[in-house]
Every structure is written in structure tokens, then in C-alpha cells.
Chains A and B, each alone.
Chain A
């Protein structure tokens, strides 16, 4: 039982490049989330999903797209990376049968955009 896994762990992009971050969970959770963590700003919700085939915007969705084609996977895409997207990205999941204040986080992806 690996919990929530994220790939890659680190990535350096040049401005304008694109990439996809992959999140996978093996807990059969319905809800999945993408956050970004910046110094002094806590974690901010980018996008979330309440089930396979559904996605919705969070607090800071601009510049990002997501897809949830399979229940266990949640992909975060950057179409044209900008230096402002330099951050640590965390994926999380939660069980709809319990209060979804309890979220399980992956280890994070550290992204640098130069």
C-alpha cells in the first residue's frame, strides 16, 4: 500500500515549456486535489476532482489544467511554464465516506522554471 505517489520528484523547465505531473493513489479515494506550496504562503488549492471524469477549479487555477481519466490517477499539466510557477506541488486524496478534512498527501514535486 503505497498511499499517494507523485512523479517526477524534481524537474527543471525553461519558460514556455510544458510538462505533466502525475499523481497516483491506491486507497480507492474518490476525491483528489492538487496544491502548490510556496514559502510563507502555506498550501493553495489549484484544482480538485470529486470523481473519475470530473475536475473543478480551486483558488489558483490559472496556467494549469488537470484530468482524471482513471479514479486512481490525477494529472496536472502546465501548458506554457512561467517562472511564477516555480513551486513545490503536492497531490492529495481523501475518502468521501469520511470528512474530507483528512487528506492524504504525496511526497511532492519540486518544480523550477527558469
Chain B
């Protein structure tokens, strides 16, 4: 019930195209849904996040769409660029141990943007 399911496992997009990565969850206790971006040899870095009371959040070319009733959320990368090639992780946050939030990560999507 604490899992976050992410698809696809890998994605190839042409430069200028739209990249779409989907995630689904079961636990309604999750209170934040961040996306992390990871380049080879680096640690993940927060890209964008959304609260469950918001249906969409946009930051530049990156947009999160959130469907609370379906328990699904997705990352859209508009005008995809070769520099966006990375692994993307969706995550869900919930209170854990009473003192901090726990991040449950999806399994990751390897995005390759071809020039």
C-alpha cells in the first residue's frame, strides 16, 4: 500500500517532443508528490512537487498533472531537450515516525532525448 508505481521504465523522445512519465499510488496518507531528476553519477535533485489539493503545477517546461480520484500523477516535459536526458523518479511523501516525512520513490524512468 506504500508503493508508488512508475511507468514507463525507459523512454526515447525526439528533441522538441513531449515526454510523459506516469505514476500511481494507493495510500491516501501521502501529502506531497515530488519529482526528482538524476543525471549519471550524481545524486537525485528535486525538480518539481505538487500537493494533492492542486490539479496541476507548472515550472518552465515541466508540468505535474495530478488526478486525486484516480490516485495518479504524471510529469510532462514540454519541448524536450537533449540536456533533459536523465533518470526521473516520482515520489510520495508521508509522515513517518512522528518527526519527519518519508519519501517513497518510484522505480525510475530513464529518459533519452535524441537530437
Identify which of B9, B49, B99 contacts A101 (C-beta below 8 A).
Answer: B49
Instruction: Note all chain B residues with C-beta closer than 8 A to A104.
Output: 45-46
Cross-interface CB contact of A99 among B32, B102, B106, cutoff 8 Å:
B32
**Interface contact A90-B43, CB-CB below 8 Å:** yes
Query: Assuming the A-B contacts A101-B93, A102-B49, are A108 and B43 also in contact, with contact meaning beta carbons closer than 8 angstroms in the complex?
Result: yes
In this complex, the interface size class of chain A, counting residues with CB under 8 Å from chain B, is 20 to 34
B103 lies within 8 A of A101 (CB): yes
Please tell me if A50 contacts chain B, counting CB pairs below 8 Å. Answer: yes
Instruction: Give residues 1-17 of B contacting A (CB, 8 Å).
Output: 4, 6, 9
B106 neighbours in A (Cβ, 8 Å): 42
Roughly how many angstroms separate A108 CA and B49 CA in the complex, as a whole number?
A: 23
Tell me the complex Cα distance, A42–B9, Å.
11
Q: Is the CB of B34 within 8 A of A43?
A: no
Known: A42-B89, A99-B101. 14 other contacts (CB 8 A): A40-B107, A42-B108, A43-B103, A43-B105, A50-B97, A50-B100, A56-B97, A90-B44, A96-B100, A101-B49, A101-B103, A102-B34, A103-B46, A105-B44
